[in-house]
Structure 1
């Protein structure tokens, strides 16, 4: 039985260089064995395989690995290290594997694991770091942010203002793009009246 995933991860990496499908099959085989011998290692196996797929230009496969890692956590009742997961999420996002839709799903899953206020704080930070990493703001992420704000008992417009306040020092052009969206006239982000805004990808 597999208890150390390093040899399997190395074998998967070698396969991925020439045959991504074979690497995917190898990961699935290893995961089936780990499900019995050490299910707590499944998220790490899937995430490492996701990095391998990113390295060989297979972002769709990498995204699938992220989804499988989260499914393993749910299926086996594993404790989630939110700090580590946020870092993995950002890494795969900046690598081109996780779309805005996938991040919106991550936001919904956050609310099932942590208090609503913490989920809002974590997701806002992730969105800011995503934009700081070079990715443009995205409309689905704005919708997810507003949903988290409502769940936390905060006005969605105020939560967006907090997001923009964090974004402005890092990327003024991106923040202006968010605020100047044509969906609805809005005041300056420096004004304290709450107002909705749209993020365009």
Structure 2
């Protein structure tokens, strides 16, 4: 069983273990460092508390162990009706449909707020796993931002995917309040 929950100090070891992988960090923002140390993990968990209330940062929990991370960021100003998603998993958990479950739970969380009309995610163009996860959850490619990312000295394109509230609501099995998120 996979669920999302708040990060705890006890997750530091697991976070450092699963995040300290070149393949995991390959498509992540530079703030997701590699190598990923226990100190970086402890700092991240501490920072999650600072964002509480504005954005939602979750540990991906599998049988009591944090095996990845996920977040919903609620935008402000003229984009106040949009939430952005982010997620990652430890490599040993790739290919089992867990990413798709995570994105569903994040969408449930975002759309439980009536003011949110759109959820989006920006991924590196070559990230086929993330593309499939988003498409399985009904997201559509909106556009490609050419030469938008500089990662490890390489210039890359990124892709914007989105899901609108009406698309989300028309999907089978979507019910508010059944997020799989534990507080």
TM-score (normalised: structure 2):
0.34
| Higher-strand-fraction structure | 2
Q: Larger relative CO (CA 8 A, sep 6+): 1 or 2?
A: 2
TM-score (normalised: structure 1):
0.32
Structure possessing the higher radius of gyration over alpha carbons: 1
